[in-house]
A = this chain, B = another copy of it.
């Protein structure tokens, strides 16, 4: 199952990332974003994405899909079989946009929402015609490189559209993981939020700076998690005795005062200042564009490195990466 014609509603960082992934997979995309700067912003993300894909496929890239900007949302979605919504994270706005998509889209078009945390059942309440086709399809930035998409259905989502979502996201090189029960923030952002809160405490309390905290992550467990998640890592840490041993050893720590669990740091001007200032010290020497290039170069290199595992079979994201890259080196008519 492949995407014939895509519509992207919202052309911010995430929306533009979707557009780039789709277009580089040869799919025509119609964009609706009322921001007069949307065309420029999408163009900038496209440049980053082309730059990264050229590194992945030095032999050249297949013909790109076309990007067109629609004057109205209705015009953008009307002939699309895949619609991805990436508007800002405000429930009222999500409702308004999804109601309009629902009113104008073909009834068998998949409607994916990029929300990081709003439940699909809540969002589907705005769709009176065909709520069964709404899924959360939550990606990670940069969408054109990171393969994960969390697929979450709501009470009204049909199994047919969950399956379709898995197939369509996979068809553009992604790794769909279906979340089994609908909760706010799903799985990825639950984990990120937990760590982010703890990080804010560490900065606020002066235990470390943002640069030091980042170094602590990227010289240690960050390297582990590019290839194995925490449970597999801990299984190894348990040694021959395995997971049970690990949990027996570290389980009791849960009750120790090792996190500031029961409280949330006040998000005041002072904390924002502290973090913004330290962030400037850490990264101020680079423009955001330069940082994006560094990030993308490293992601392509890491995916490539993981792809070399086991004589080129690849491991985890590297195995998927190999398949994805192979596709680009095939003549267009084979795809």
User: Which residues in A have some Cβ–Cβ distance to B below 8 Å?
Assistant: 13, 88-89, 117, 140-141, 146-148, 150, 175, 177, 179-181, 183-202, 205-233, 235-240, 242-244, 247-249, 251-259, 261-262, 264-265, 267, 272, 275-276, 278-280, 282-283, 288, 291-292, 294-295, 297-299, 301-306, 308-309, 315-318, 320
Closest to A240 in B: B288
Known contacts A187-B216, A229-B217; A258/B193 CB under 8 A: yes
Query: In the complex the two chains form, is B282's CB within 8 Å of A196's CB?
Result: no
Query: In the complex the two chains form, is A217's CB within 8 Å of B190's CB?
Result: no
Known contacts A146-B224, A227-B295, A236-B291; A184/B256 CB under 8 A: yes
Known contacts A175-B219, A220-B148, A221-B188; A180/B206 CB under 8 A: yes
Contacts of A240 in B (CB 8 A): 288
Contacts of A235 in B (CB 8 A): 279, 282-283, 288, 291
- Contact with A264, one of B181, B183, B207, B254 (Cβ below 8 angstroms): B254
In the docked arrangement, what's the CA distance between A132 and B257, Å?
26
Q: Identify the 4 closest CB pairs spanning chains A and B, nearest first.
A: A214-B229, A222-B225, A305-B305, A148-B220
Contacts of A301 in B (CB 8 A): 305-306, 308-309
In the docked arrangement, what's the CA distance between A258 and B264, Å?
12
Contacts of A248 in B (CB 8 A): 272
